[in-house]
Every structure is written in C-alpha cells, then in structure tokens.
C-alpha cells in the first residue's frame, strides 16, 4: 500500500481460481461483509514489486521484488536416521573410562588437553587414562560416518 505519490506497489495475483467464486466466510446473513483487514488482496499474491519515484528521470525505479512460492516442498524423500549419541562414564574418573555409542560405531577417540594438544588416541571404547595429569580434557569422538562429537571429561 503506497503511502505517498513517490512510491508504488504492484501485485501479480493467482487468478486460476477467483476467491469471489468461493463461499465468503465473513458475509453476514444480511449480505454485509465483516472483513476487518487492511489487506486489499482477495486472491493469492504471486509477486509484489515496490518502486520509488525518481524525480530526475520522472519515472518509477524498481526498489524491491518479492516472489511468493506456494508450492514449496517442506520435506525431502531422504530417510531420517537417528542422530548418533555417546555416553562417557565414569566422569570424573581416576583411571578407567568407557564410551558407549548409540546408532553408530566409534572409529577413533582422541583426548585433547586445554592447550589443544592431543595427548591420547585410541580406537578402543574402554581404556586407561591414569597416566594423564589431573584436569579437564576434551574427548573427540569420531564415528564411522565421519561425524565428530566432543565431550568434556575430568581426570581426578
């Protein structure tokens, strides 16, 4: 809706089925419309263009265009698989640690210190970390699909 003579809105409507041919849900038994809306649109809007008036060229210049797609697909035909999840225990630990995987297999586990240095690497899901200094570490778990999950572990 233009608010000044210096701006112009143009609309393209879907006229394949006119809304006026459908039953009007807001029409009273007396035939009076009770539509309380500032929207002047009766049919689906396909495109909306906004133009501003350029007084130098004495013409309207296209400022923006919006295209509405009512037939977009909101889903895909791919099978949805459950996300891999991991359980790390006990945490905190003094020596032994176990990693359990759900919906995947584990390819590699890395233990990384707070400085970013990899201090331990294994492909086992049950292992000893007694030789590590007490502190906080990041456990980087790489699964069979190449997914990476990080878990914080505490070595006491």
Evaluate whether residue 54 is within a structural domain: yes
Q: 91: domain range?
A: 85-155
Residue-wise pLDDT tens for the chain (156 aa)? 545 677 887 777 777 766 555 444 545 455 554 444 455 555 677 777 878 888 888 787 777 777 777 666 666 666 666 678 899 999 999 999 999 998 889 999 999 999 999 999 999 999 999 999 999 999 999 998 888 999 999 999
Evaluate whether residue 78 is within a structural domain: no
pLDDT at site 50: 79
pLDDT at site 2: 46
pLDDT at site 147: 87
User: How many domains are contained in the chain?
Assistant: 2
Both 62 and 89 in a single domain?
no
b/e 81-100 (16+ beta carbons within 10 angstroms → b): eeebebebeeeebeeebebe
SS3 labels along 5-21: CCEEEEEEECCCCCHHH
Q: Rounded distance, CA 84 to CA 102, Å?
A: 6
pLDDT at site 29: 52
- Name the strand (E) or helix (H) holding 31: none
What pTM was computed for the model?
0.49
CATH of the domain at 90: 2.60.40.1930
């Amino acid at each position: 809706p233009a608010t000044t003579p210096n701006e112009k809105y143009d609309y393209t409507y879907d006229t394949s089925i006119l809304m006026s041919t459908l039953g009007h849900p807001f029409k009273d038994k007396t035939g009076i419309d009770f539509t309380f809306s500032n929207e002047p649109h009766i049919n689906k809007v396909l495109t909306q263009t906004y133009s501003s008036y350029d007084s130098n060229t004495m013409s309207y210049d296209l400022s923006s265009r919006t295209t509405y797609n009512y037939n977009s697909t909101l889903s895909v035909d791919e099978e949805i698989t459950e996300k891999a999840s991991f359980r790390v225990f006990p945490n905190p630990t003094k020596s032994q640690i176990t990693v359990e995987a759900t919906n995947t297999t584990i390819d590699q586990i890395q233990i990384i210190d707070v400085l970013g240095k990899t201090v331990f690497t294994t492909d086992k899901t049950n292992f000893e970390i007694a030789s590590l200094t007490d502190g906080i570490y990041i456990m980087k778990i790489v699964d069979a699909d190449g997914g990476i999950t990080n878990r914080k572990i505490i070595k006491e």
